[in-house]
Structure 1
Amino acid sequence: MKIGQVASEAEVTIDTVRFYERRGVVPEPARRPSGFREYPASTVERIRMARMLQNLGFTLDEIIEMLHAHDAGTTSCDSEQWRLEGALDRIDTKIAELRRTRRLITATMQECRTGQCRFTAQLDGSPSVNRSADRW
Structure 2
Amino acid sequence: MKIGEVASAAEVSVDTVRFYERRGVLPPAERRPSGYREFPASAAGRIRSAKALQDLGFTLDEVVDALRAHDTGDATCETERWRLEAVVARLDERIAQLQRLRRKAADSLDDCRSGCCRLVGDARLV
TM-score, normalization: structure 2?
0.91
Where 1:50 maps in the other structure, the secondary structure is helix
Q: Percent identity?
A: 55
Within 5 Å, which residues of 2 pair with 1:21-100?
A: 21-100=21-100
Residue 122 (structure 1) shift: 4.7
4+ aligned runs moved over 3 Å, structure 1: 119-124
Gaps of at least 5 residues in structure 1 are 129-136
CA distance in 2, matches of 1:80, 1:22: 24
Residue 35 (structure 1) shift: 1.1
Where 2:123 maps in the other structure, the secondary structure is helix
1:132 aligned residue: none
Largest Rg, 1 or 2: 1
Does residue 117 of structure 2 align to residue 117 of structure 1? yes
Residue 42 (structure 1) shift: 0.5
When structure 1 is superposed on structure 2, of 76-85 and 2-11 the one drifting more is 2-11
Change (3 A) 1:120 1:43: closer
Q: Which amino acid aligns with 1:79?
A: T
TM-score, normalization: structure 1?
0.85
Gaps of at least 5 residues in structure 2 are none
RMSD: 1.9
Q: Deviations over 1:69-100 (max 9, x none)?
A: 11111100000011110000001001101111
